[in-house]
Amino acid sequence: MNNWLSLILCILYIFGIIGFAEFLRRRFGYGSGFTRKVIHIGVGMMSWGLHFLFDTPWFFIAAAAIFTVITYLDWRYHFFAAMASSDPSNLGTVYFPIAAAAVAYIFWTEPPLMVAALMPLTWGDGLAPVIGRLYGRRQYRVHTSIRTLEGSLGFFVSGFLFTWLALWVMGGDPVISPLAALFPAFVITLVTTVIEAVSIWGLDNLTITAAAILILSWWPF
């Protein structure tokens, strides 16, 4: 597919996810804590299709740069209620596309590692607060944030499942069997679960991804 056409499709997809989240907020009354994570997961899952869309990482990096500007302007001026955070110091939505661009640049020639590096952030960090709000009973405090053990468990389970699937299912080099993908997925998810639990100010969108990149870079596949 033409790279420029794919860039346009990526931008339309991102705005489509934001629009869908806004629809959920207005039509069904979901709070921004939920709709932010719909956007979070929807944008993160775009990583599975990058090699079908682009011949080079630079067009996706351009899309990520555009999304970074959009999220920063939204954080500053509150254009999209579906992306609003209850914590004004939380720049997590701004950090997300920066992390995604870094992963695409580093692992572009290794698609399973590229997608796997984003799955703890996409699904783990995406579902942890949702599960925590629904089922959280055992709370703990980190700085000014209240977390739950149930939310952290949700991070681990969902992050592990999708990291394992990315290492195994995603085509390209390195080719990793489902059995060989289990232990690195476990280690990545365990480390990133701890990092998410102690990170503040939305920095987990950077620290989670940095940890996944380091582990995948060093792992002897």
Peptide linkage before 129 cis (omega within 30 of 0): no
Rounded to 5°, the CA angle 64-69-72 comes to: 120
Of all residues in the chain, what percent carry a pLDDT higher than 90?
70
Instruction: State residue 143's pLDDT score.
Output: 66
pLDDT in tens, 1-15: 699 999 999 999 999
Instruction: State residue 140's pLDDT score.
Output: 75
Question: Closest by alpha carbon to 136, among 121, 146, 145, 123?
Answer: 146
The helix (run of H) or strand (run of E) holding residue 145 is strand 145-148
Q: How confident is the model at residue 78 (pLDDT cuts 50, 70, 90)?
A: confident
State the number of CA atoms in the 13 A half-sphere of 79 facing the CB. 10
Of all residues in the chain, what percent carry a pLDDT higher than 70?
97
pLDDT in tens, 138-179: 777 776 667 788 989 999 999 999 999 999 999 999 999 999
Is residue 86 pLDDT above 80, yes or no?
no
In this structure, are residues 138 and 126 in contact, taking their beta carbons and an 8 Å threshold?
A: no
pTM: 0.93
Cα separation, 41 vs 97, in Å, equals 12
Coil vs helix vs strand at 148: strand
In this structure, are residues 150 and 137 in contact, taking their beta carbons and an 8 Å threshold?
A: yes
Residues 193-204 have a mean pLDDT of: 83
Cα separation, 63 vs 183, in Å, equals 33
DSSP state of 219: S
Sign of the Cα torsion 184, 141, 91, 79 reads positive
Is residue 106 pLDDT above 70, yes or no?
yes
Q: How confident is the model at residue 217 (pLDDT cuts 50, 70, 90)?
A: very high
- Based on C-alpha coordinates, what's the Rg of the chain? 17
Is residue 59 pLDDT above 90, yes or no?
yes
**197-206 burial, b for 16+ CB within 10 Å, e for fewer?**
bebeebebbb
Question: Closest by alpha carbon to 206, among 196, 216, 215?
Answer: 196
